[in-house]
Amino acid sequence: MVQPVRNIVIVGGGTAGWLTAGIIAARHRSRIGSGFTVTLIESPNTPIIGVGEGTWPTLRTTLSRMGVSETDFFRECDAAFKQGARFARWTSGAADDGYYHPLMLPQNFGQVNLAPHWLAQDDPDSFCDAVCAQGRICDDGLAPKTMATAEYDALANYAYHLDAGKFAPFLQRHCCEKLGVRHILADVEQVLMHDNGDIRAVRTTQAGEVEGDLFVDCTGFKALLIEGAMGVPFRDCNDILFCDTALAMQVPYAAPDCPIASHTISTAQSAGWIWDIGTQARRGVGHVFSSSHISDDHAERELRAYIGPAADGLNARRIKIRSGHRETFWKGNCVAVGLSAGFLEPLEASAIVLIELSAKIIAEQMPACREVMDIVAARFNATAHYRWGRIIDFLKLHYVLTKRTDSDFWRDNVRIESIPDRLQELLLLWRYQSPWFHDEFDRAEEVFPAASYQYVLYGMGFRTEVDPPALARDAHLADRARRENAAATAKLCAGLPRHRELIDRIVAHGLQPV
């Protein structure tokens, strides 16, 4: 007999569990109530880790499809806008060393590659300013939209900064009240197996056995199902990404009307880097570092020096980072999402977007029956391996382009044996041809498109040889794109409100619903 897949059991809450539940339930809303169920089992005793307060623009689409009000999200999750990241002191370590990785594509990106033209002209503007408006918008402390812009619409592309401790309960209420997700507060004490190696049920202390057809492991670093029950090992990548510890602080603003940066600030240190993320009520500030290159005490001194007097009296929360991912993400009828699947240092906010993309595949390719589940699982695993590999490459790119030699940490990061083979090949390729959208970035839903590589490469001083005949061929397109970017920059900087001003108005009055 064909065994239909109708009962989806998500073990673990937090951002991973509730985003996954919401994405699946929203996609299959018409089936809920007629035999299809989404159940989330969550321990009442497990705190939310809440490292990932930065997101990608994909979250706008995710929340919209779940039917979440953007106004409610801002009001309840201490949210702010994120328009990209500014990297300080990564190239030379000097005080004026910095560049943006914005969320807007370069002007007319699908028509002309502006990078060679910018390189050939030795433009005094930074690459970001020469090709898009977002760096200037961030410099001026502006928001990416106005009160007249509808929910989830944008004048400049944006993501969010959020309070992860408030985000998960917000999602929980929405999933349970609007999407029909069944919520069980209980501790899992045993995983029960079928003879064929699938999971049959989980036995809980408070609610007995909960059976399912597909189990999603969102139990975090414990990996209760994917490792504990299914025996899938973890693949370290600490030979590539050295940072293995974070010290985090929540820093209150000096006054309620203090400006809020609408971008993540990532400032390089002697053996790692410091994130600085602004939400409505506070800044989340943390030092990510390599314990092989610096002691916890030294790292905390660097963190406190960065924050200044506002750090007095604040405790630093220590978080261990194990960079890497599962050797297999979906085995049998169990799939890992979130920290149970893996974790990488939060340099480019990849944690939440990986949750979204994984849950989206599960929801859209939901196996109709157990007989086809292994086919879907194989596709999922291929996509997941590709994405994790490309994220590792992209994070390493920030380190290998450095010209810093002031510590063993920076010197070790440029050792050839620590650079993945694919990244080495791309760096060689990019010496002669600039990355562009139709080149090596050929997968749907690339986490980091070719534009992201351009912003980092040319923000950190990388040089690509220029081909004069190719420049002449599309010079008219490049000239037009530069003029259009200059006009767009002037218009946006003149018309956008201050970041905190817009947030305050959203909280008070609400955005126009879609």
The answer to whether 224 touches 11, Cβ cutoff 8 Å, is yes
The active-site residue out of 82, 166, 360, 396 is 82
CA separation for the pair 17, 168 (Å, rounded)? 8
User: Which burial class, exposed, middle or buried, applies to 32 when counting CB atoms under 10 A from its CB (0-12, 13-18, 19+)?
Assistant: middle
CA separation for the pair 24, 37 (Å, rounded)? 10
> 7: helix, coil or strand?
strand
Instruction: Give the count of beta carbons closer than 10 Å to the beta carbon of residue 168.
Output: 20
**Residue 82 annotated in active site:** yes
Which residues touch 142 (CB under 8 Å, ≥6 apart)?
262, 492, 493, 496, 497, 498, 499
The answer to whether 19 touches 171, Cβ cutoff 8 Å, is yes
> 134: helix, coil or strand?
helix
Structure tokens at 42: 């969550």
Which residues touch 305 (CB under 8 Å, ≥6 apart)?
none
Q: Are strands 98-102 and 159-161 parallel, antiparallel or unpaired?
A: unpaired
User: What is the maximum span of the chain, computed from C-alpha positions, in angstroms?
Assistant: 72
In eight-state DSSP terms, residue 338 is G
Instruction: Give the count of beta carbons closer than 10 Å to the beta carbon of residue 11.
Output: 30
CA nearest neighbour of 457 among 407, 394, 390, 412: 394
CA nearest neighbour of 250 among 307, 184, 330: 307
CA nearest neighbour of 75 among 163, 178, 7, 10: 163
CA separation for the pair 8, 215 (Å, rounded)? 6
Query: Which of 468-504 are b and which e, b meaning 16 or more Cβ less than 10 Å from the residue's Cβ?
Result: eeeeeebeeebeebbeebeebbeebeeebbebbbbbe
Q: What's the CA angle centered on 60, arms 57 and 65, to 5 degrees?
A: 140
- Active site (catalytic) residues: 82
